[in-house]
């Protein structure tokens, strides 16, 4: 023994994600997010900001629009200050008439983990240096080379593939278990509720 104390590893508070979706995913999604948050804090030696420790995190799996320009995922930070809430929207595979192939599910998981990286950025208030002047002159260049976006794109595949694989497998299985008939029943029920409200 050299008499040196080992610094205790920082453990961020656990967050329970409120998931609005066709299938019950609150437990699995929360496990996945907290594993990502733990890795993010360790990887970048950062902590949750004191004013973010009691943040609520809501995830809605929604049906996308017909416009090809519609985003697959969105993380809204504006409510954080007013409502102490981070709102995430990600397109739901089950509402997009997409065959849940391995490729489609992998793409969906990466969209989800991409948005989770943005949540980690918000909770830790971690800032990164802006990228130097780029060579391209695209209309959306500022978005594509935004440091937060670059970091999220780097980490999304790693987090979708390397963390809590048993939890990811459960999410994938639940998606596959949900049949087309379930979706039809949901749409009929939703239409009925809308008609009742109109009346």
124-181: pLDDT as tens digits: 999 888 777 666 666 677 777 889 999 999 999 999 887 667 788 888 888 777 755 4
CA atoms within 13 A on the CB side of 152: 26
C-beta of residue 118 within 8 angstroms of C-beta of residue 71: no
Q: Is 69 helix (H, G, I), strand (E, B) or coil?
A: coil
- Give the chain's radius of gyration (CA, Å): 19
Q: Is the pLDDT of residue 34 over 70?
A: yes
Mean pLDDT of 88-96: 81
Task: For the chain, give the mean pLDDT.
Answer: 79
Distance CA 41, CA 191 (A): 44
Residue 154 to residues 69, 114, 118, 147, 190: CA-CA distances in angstroms?
22, 9, 12, 11, 38
Residue 110 is classified by DSSP as: H
pLDDT for residue 148: 92
Please report, for the chain, the start and end positions of each structural domain, with discontinuous segments joined by +: 17-127+142-198
Asked if 122 and 52 touch (Cβ cutoff 8 Å), the reply is: yes
Tokens 């008609």 sit on residue: 195
When pLDDT is averaged across residues 25-36 and rounded to a whole number, the result is: 92
Neighbours of 175 (CB within 10 A): 20
Question: Is the confidence at residue 38, as pLDDT, over 90?
Answer: yes
């Amino acid at each position: 023994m050299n008499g040196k104390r080992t610094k205790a590893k920082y453990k961020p508070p656990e967050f329970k994600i409120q998931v609005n979706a066709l299938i019950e995913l609150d437990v699995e999604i929360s496990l996945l997010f907290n594993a990502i948050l733990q890795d993010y804090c360790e990887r970048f030696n950062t902590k949750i900001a004191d004013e973010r420790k009691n943040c609520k995190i809501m995830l809605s799996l929604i049906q996308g629009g017909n416009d090809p320009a519609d985003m697959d995922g969105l993380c809204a930070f504006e409510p954080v200050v007013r409502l102490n809430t981070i709102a995430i929207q990600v397109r739901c595979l089950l509402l997009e008439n997409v065959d849940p192939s391995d490729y489609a599910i992998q793409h969906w998981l990466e969209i989800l983990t991409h948005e989770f990286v943005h949540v980690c950025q918000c909770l830790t208030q971690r800032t990164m240096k802006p990228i130097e002047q780029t060579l391209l002159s695209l209309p959306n260049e500022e978005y594509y080379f935004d440091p937060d976006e670059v970091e999220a794109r780097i980490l999304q595949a790693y987090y979708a593939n390397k963390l809590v694989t048993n939890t990811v497998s459960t999410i994938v299985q639940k998606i596959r278990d949900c049949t087309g008939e379930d979706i039809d029943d949901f749409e009929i029920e939703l239409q009925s509720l809308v008609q009742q409200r109109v009346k």
